[in-house]
Amino acid sequence: MKHLLSICDVQHQILELLEIAHKFKMSTSFGKPLQGKTLAMIFEKPSTRTRISFEVGMNQLGGTGLYLATDDLQIGRGEPISDTAKTMSRYVDGIMIRARKHNNLIQLANNSSVPVINGLTDLEHPCQALADMQTVLEYKGDFKGKLLFAGDGNNVCNSLLLICSILGMDMTVACPPGYEPPLQIMEKAQLLADKSGAVIEITSDILSAVKGCDVIYTDVWVSMGKEAELKDRLKIFQPYQINEQIMGLAKKDAIFMHCLPAIRGQETTASVIDGPQSVVWDQAENRLHSQKAILYTLLK
């Protein structure tokens, strides 16, 4: 693995990464395996969990995380991403980017001689998916159950489709017509599912889809960059809100997950996200441990 641009880049190392993440979580002594290493962290979009988990993770492993907003870089003044990548490669040991466009990530990786990590793009969020599967493993013990993702077929949904297909976990996406995951993701997920035995489905009927599910997952209805669609999206996605009624149709021991930030009263209710079936805080914590596993594997 040279870069982590898609969850597919680590499809043969997912279980190994989850094991490393678990060891980091259980250990009180990390050692300094990344002593003297520097990670450049480029943020084209603001972040809470991504920034903190990468910066703290580098610190705990003995390295340094360097926060770089695009306005602080010449990218913000029109320098080609390729030039930035070639320059940064002479200074740092790895680059993490939270990019507006997936193509920006690809350009960066194609011109970088050091590992590049996808901290989020409009197409995928592989770091989130790894933390999510760490959480599922902690609560369910394996990947034999079924995950329901309700809402927009967005970047988080895309990476979940791919990682579930790799691990053999059944997954259904319940979304309004016209908001399905992109065809390229679905085709790739189906090919992976054919090998693992996972069942991948897309439906607009959330009431049927939620029955028998072990994991109920949702995300905001209006992602960054979609604010102009707020009014329409609130109306279109309302039937897909995860509330007590929806949770009541899933398995009794089903867990609720959300990648955060959450808007109570929109994609979920306070009674669910703050309720006994919610594991969102463990899920958020696991971003730190899975991030450390990624950094250790790529930069050691």
Residue 158 in tokens:
């895309």
Q: Are residues 148 and 279 in the same domain?
A: yes
Shared domain for 192 and 293, answered yes or no, is no
Question: Which residue in the list 3, 8, 93, 98 is annotated as catalytic?
Answer: 98
pTM of the complete model beyond 0.85: yes
Torsion of CA 275, 259, 26, 36, to 10 degrees: -150
Number of domains observed in the structure of the chain? 2
Same domain, 83 and 178: no
Catalytic status, residue 100: no
- Whose CA is closest to 275, among 241, 247, 249, 250? 247
Q: Burial-class residue 204 by CB neighbours within 10 Å (0-12, 13-18, 19+).
A: middle
Query: Is residue 259 among the annotated active site residues?
Result: yes
Same domain membership, residue 245 and residue 158: yes
* Domain-embedded: residue 103: yes
Q: State residue 78's pLDDT score.
A: 83
- Domain shared by 89 and 137, yes or no: no
- Residue 241 has which token pair? 């809100």
Residue 2 within a domain:
no
In the set 8, 127, 164, 259, the catalytic residue is: 259
Is residue 31's pLDDT more than 90?
no
Q: Is residue 61 part of a domain?
A: yes
**pLDDT surpasses 80 at 1:** no
Residue that the structure tokens 């989130």 belong to? 128
Question: Would 85 be classed as within a structural domain?
Answer: yes
Q: CA 23, 37, 163: angle at the middle one, nearest 5?
A: 45
- The reply to whether 1 falls in a domain is no
Round to whole Å and give the CA distance between 94 and 2.
10
49 is catalytic: no
DSSP secondary structure code for residue 146 in this structure: E
* Residue 266 maps to a domain: yes
Query: Helix, strand, coil: what percent of the chain each, to 5?
Result: 50, 15, 35
Catalytic residue among 49, 233, 258, 287: 287
One domain for residues 224 and 153: yes
Question: In which residue are the tokens 């209006």 written?
Answer: 222
154 half-sphere exposure, CB direction, 13 A CA radius: 21
H or E segment and range at residue 118: strand 116-120
Q: Is pLDDT larger for residue 109 or for residue 226? A: 109
End-to-end CA distance of the chain: 12
264, part of any domain: yes
Rounded to an integer, what distance in angstroms lies between the CA atom of residue 128 and that of residue 207? 26
CATH number at residue 70: 3.40.50.1370
Cα gap 201→22, rounded to integer Å: 30
190 and 257 within one domain? yes
In a domain, 267, yes or no: yes
287 is annotated as an active-site residue: yes
Full domain range(s) for residue 80: 7-125+287-299
Q: Annotated catalytic, 291?
A: no
Tell me, yes or no, whether 178 and 249 share the same domain.
yes
Q: 137-147: per-residue pLDDT in tens?
A: 999 999 999 99
In the set 132, 152, 170, 219, the catalytic residue is: 219
| Same domain as 267, residue 138 | yes
Distance (Å, whole) CA 126 – CA 108: 17
Residues 197 and 254 in one domain: yes
CB atoms within 10 A of CB 157: 28
Catalytic position from the list 60, 128, 241, 283? 128
Say if residue 45 is in the same domain as residue 165.
Answer: no
pLDDT tens track for 266-296: 999 999 999 999 999 999 999 999 999 999 9
Q: Give the model's confidence band at 194: pLDDT under 50 very low, under 70 low, under 90 confident, else very high.
A: very high
Q: What is the pLDDT of residues 160-176, one digit of tens each?
A: 999 999 999 999 999 99
Measure the CA–CA gap between 34 and 18, rounded to whole angstroms: 19
CB atoms within 10 A of CB 17: 20
User: Do 88 and 224 share a structural domain?
Assistant: no
